[in-house]
């Protein structure tokens, strides 16, 4: 085997968990803590902005779905690959915290991004019964699958002493996370180009987790010394988020901005689907 498949095969054949705590310099640990602490304020606008606008115009439910799947696989990868380190925290509760920063960052991003999806349940676009029911169904399936997968693999990681099968599973979830990251943002980029606006997308979230996320990649590679399957999905996502951010900025603030008085400005919306978004805004559906 050669090329990418050869690299993946070699990685799986020699898969190993992280068995030693990293001796991280105080400055590197401080950077990791800062990166972790800014995640919450950066992601929360992706939830609060659609609620405030009572609209999810410009948001792609498919991207949100793929995001939750990809982030779930990333969390599972981190838990499995760092399982020996997690167990060592019982003996060294203070000394292990710097090593656990990557896990804290990944888990925090996962749980916060997971709850962006309900906004397309509350304010579907287009606001019709078919879209509403579809989003409700997808939301319920995600809760069962994603939380169930994390719970099951966490139990496996805690009871097993990282056999080869566990390490291979961890790497497979990491590779799957990287592949999903490539497809995750494509629907959003497509909708952003069609609607020609950020709409309910949060510039703060995309700027901090996209462009600023490259600092997180640097931390995971240089300071935390994580496996490539752990930091590669983050790097790929940073690239796509940066492209989407620049695309939306081009249409909202750059040469692509719609002139005042255009047909889109008069209606106050741009179609995102067969009937566009209902101007009345919120749906009564709650889950």
Residues 139-189 have pLDDT tens digits of 999 999 999 999 999 999 989 888 888 988 988 998 899 889 888 888 898
Backbone angles phi, psi at 12, to 5 degrees: -70, -40
The Cα 180–Cα 184 span in angstroms is 6
Closest to 121 (Cα-Cα) out of 170, 75, 161, 68? 68
The Cα 228–Cα 239 span in angstroms is 16
pLDDT in tens, 220-256: 888 777 778 778 888 888 898 899 999 999 999 988 8
Contact 125, 273 (CB under 8 A): yes
Q: What is the mean pLDDT of the chain?
A: 83
> Considering all CA atoms of the chain, what is the largest pairwise distance in Å, rounded to the nearest integer?
66
Q: Report whether pLDDT(111) > 90.
A: yes
Please tell me the predicted confidence (pLDDT) of residue 87: 87
Contact 29, 96 (CB under 8 A): no
Torsion of CA 251, 53, 65, 72, to 10 degrees: 110
Please tell me the predicted confidence (pLDDT) of residue 282: 41
Terminal alpha carbon distance of the chain: 48
Res. 14 pLDDT band, cuts 50 70 90: low
Which residue would you say has higher pLDDT here, 68 or 262? Answer: 68
Alpha-carbon radius of gyration of the chain: 20
Contact 245, 207 (CB under 8 A): yes
Closest to 63 (Cα-Cα) out of 150, 182, 205? 182
Closest to 281 (Cα-Cα) out of 116, 128, 127, 115? 127
Global confidence as pTM = 0.80
Q: Please name the residues in contact with 260: beta carbons below 8 A apart, sequence gap of 6 or more.
A: none
């Amino acid at each position: 085997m050669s090329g990418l498949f050869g690299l993946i095969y070699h990685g799986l054949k020699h898969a190993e968990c992280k068995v030693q705590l990293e001796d991280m310099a105080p400055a590197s640990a401080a950077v990791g803590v800062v990166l972790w602490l800014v995640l919450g304020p950066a992601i929360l606008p992706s939830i609060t902005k659609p609620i405030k606008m009572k609209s999810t115009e410009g948001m792609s439910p498919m991207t949100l779905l793929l995001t939750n799947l990809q982030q779930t696989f990333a969390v599972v990868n981190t838990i499995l690959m760092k399982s020996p380190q997690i167990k060592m925290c019982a003996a060294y509760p203070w000394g292990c915290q710097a090593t656990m920063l990557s896990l804290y960052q990944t888990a925090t991003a996962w749980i916060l991004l997971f709850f962006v999806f309900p906004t397309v349940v509350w304010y579907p676009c287009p606001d019709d019964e078919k879209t509403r029911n579809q989003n409700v169904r997808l939301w319920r399936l995600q809760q069962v699958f994603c939380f169930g997968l994390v719970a099951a693999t966490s139990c496996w990681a805690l009871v097993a002493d990282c056999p080869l099968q566990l390490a291979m599973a961890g790497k497979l979830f990491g590779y799957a996370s990287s592949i999903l990251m490539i497809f995750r943002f494509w629907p959003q980029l497509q909708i952003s180009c069609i609607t020609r606006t950020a709409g309910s997308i949060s510039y703060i979230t995309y700027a901090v987790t996209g462009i600023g996320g490259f600092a997180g990649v640097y931390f995971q590679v240089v300071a935390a010394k994580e496996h490539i399957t752990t930091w590669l999905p983050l790097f790929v996502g940073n690239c796509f988020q940066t492209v989407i951010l620049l695309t939306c900025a081009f249409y909202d603030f750059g040469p692509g901005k719609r002139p005042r008085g255009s047909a889109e400005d008069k209606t106050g919306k741009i179609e995102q689907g067969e009937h566009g978004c209902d101007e009345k805004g919120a749906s009564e559906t709650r889950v």
